[in-house]
């Protein structure tokens, strides 16, 4: 169930982010920007070696990125404006600032997309794979952060028109459906 806030459509669906059509996708990367398993591996495989080359250039320049930060590369063979690489927190029980760090992943990715003038962005469910962040809490954190971001900037305050969450797993897709429905009821 999509919601529209300040002319921005926020929605979720089940799918593979590498076949999403729009301007920019977010990658749940690692601090070294090395390209690993999960969504990271899928994006590197689909986009080809040019993405890894640009990740290596970022590594040489600034030694990678910290959890919560974001960096932009080209999208290689993927028909997109670019890829936003962010590093989610590894879940350690919740006492290590994991929620705030996950929120910063979404904020910094949105800022990066806006800086690039992107009109649409797709997010995977950052940290909910091998980084083990509880899925319901990750969903609440992601949606609250994105909704607040769009609300705070007011009508027409962003180049973005479309923000989508691409859930690879059905349980995540169901969580986003339920949570978006609660927002639409308000």
- Is 148 one of the annotated active-site residues of the chain? no
- Show contacts with ligand ADP in window 149-168 (CB under 6 A): 166, 168
Give which of 72, 85, 75 is closest to 40, Cα–Cα: 85
Compose the 131-150 pattern: x for residues touching ligand ADP by CB under 6 A, - for all others.
x-------------------
Catalytic residue among 16, 23, 40, 177: 40
Q: For residues 131 and 105, what is the distance between their CA atoms, to the nearest angstrom?
A: 14
Which of 17, 51, 71, 180 touches ligand ADP by CB under 6 A? 17
Smallest gap, in angstroms, from Cβ of residue 7 to ligand ADP?
26
Rule CB under 6 A: say whether 125 interacts with ligand ADP. Answer: yes
Residue (24 or 158) nearer to ligand ADP, CB: 24
Q: For residues 148 and 68, what is the distance between their CA atoms, to the nearest angstrom?
A: 17
Helices (H), strands (E): how many in the chain?
Answer: 5, 7
Which of 108, 120, 128, 145 touches ligand ADP by CB under 6 A? 128
137: number of Cβ within 10 Å: 17
Q: For residues 134 and 129, what is the distance between their CA atoms, to the nearest angstrom?
A: 9
Smallest gap, in angstroms, from Cβ of residue 42 to ligand ADP?
4
User: What DSSP character marks residue 116?
Assistant: T
- Show contacts with ligand ADP in window 60-89 (CB under 6 A): 88
H or E element, residue 73? strand 70-73
Give Cα separations from 22 to 25, 65, 73 (angstroms). Answer: 8, 25, 16
Rule CB under 6 A: say whether 38 interacts with ligand ADP. Answer: yes
60: number of Cβ within 10 Å: 9
Stretch that binds ligand ADP, among 14-22, 60-68, 76-84, 107-115 (CB under 6 A): 14-22
Q: Which residues bind ligand ADP (CB under 6 A)?
A: 16-18, 28, 38-40, 42, 88, 124-131, 166, 168-169, 172
Active site residues: 40
């Amino acid at each position: 169930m999509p919601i529209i806030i300040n002319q921005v459509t926020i929605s979720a669906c089940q799918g593979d982010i590498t076949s999403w059509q729009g301007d920019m996708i977010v990658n749940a990367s690692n601090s070294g920007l090395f390209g690993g398993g999960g969504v990271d591996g899928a994006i590197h495989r689909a986009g080809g070696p040019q993405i890894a080359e640009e990740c290596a250039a970022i590594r040489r320049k600034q030694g990678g990125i910290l959890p919560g930060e974001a960096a932009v590369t080209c999208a290689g063979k993927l028909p997109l404006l670019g890829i936003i690489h962010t590093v989610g927190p590894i879940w350690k029980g919740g006492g290590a600032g994991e929620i705030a760090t996950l929120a910063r992943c979404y904020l910094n990715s949105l800022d990066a997309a806006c800086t690039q003038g992107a009109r649409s962005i797709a997010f995977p469910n950052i940290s909910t794979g091998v980084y083990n962040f509880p899925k319901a809490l990750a969903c609440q954190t992601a949606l609250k952060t994105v909704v607040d971001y769009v609300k705070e900037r007011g009508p027409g305050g962003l180049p973005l028109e479309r923000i989508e969450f691409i859930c690879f797993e059905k349980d995540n897709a169901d969580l986003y459906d339920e949570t978006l429905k609660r927002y639409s009821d308000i």
